[in-house]
A = this chain, B = another copy of it.
């Protein structure tokens, strides 16, 4: 079948279809939380790769393969769009994913980069993220496509994810580690800091306290939900009414062990996640 013919034959996404959202684990729920707030009529299928978490210290090749498996899984729900709610996957896998699929797809990096460019006054932006995201230089690339005169300073903060997952959101140890990671960014006099990992908004108050009031913290989760809304409107895909009562509005899937996920999810979303189903993602 020729490419054009196949494209004509494909089922166009349905406005009533759910949005697919994925992350390496629980962090992407900060993006889900923003989508719930900003576009509350949407249905969401969330997948968290809890069997293979974290992605932040893994390679482009591995993260891309994992992301492609997840997209194949999400498409079994006929999702109308896909949100890559993980900075590492957005950094490494977006191009490959965009080539694979014919529905709109949005990552967290571009919205975060755009918001930071709008926010900076002195043209000095800091990015904190996983080793993989910093190593990919993806924020630098997107920001400099928007404005070549901006300087970007990246800093990998590998202990933040385990500290957040251990529940130490406000704790002297998290303060101390944050101080070590952030000192060089303070010395460089940045005025804008991108929280380039979906876990980091959960320690926003610690980060804000250390960076001081003069520095704007950019939360890509918030910006992504805002851009997702615009994207849905542009494609005529925004739901105008809430789903019928009793329909499965929010569904959560993970690749390993539901209990801990549900507990952590409820601390982020406070929406009453009752259950998450386990899926063998390697089979996709």
Show the binding face of A for B, using Cβ within 8 Å: 50-52, 57-59, 61-62, 158-159, 161-163, 165-166, 172-173, 176-177, 255-257, 260, 282
Contacts and interface: CB of A to CB of B under 8 A. Distances in A.
Contacts of A59: 256-257
Given A162-B159, A173-B176, A173-B177, A51 B57 contact: no
Contacts of A161: 162
Copies of this chain? 2
A255 B66 CA distance: 13
19 contacts: A50-B58, A51-B58, A51-B62, A52-B52, A57-B260, A58-B257, A61-B256, A62-B255, A62-B256, A158-B162, A158-B165, A158-B166, A159-B163, A159-B166, A162-B162, A172-B176, A173-B173, A173-B176, A173-B177
Contacts of A162: 158-159, 161-162
A128 B173 CA distance: 20
Contacts of A163: 159
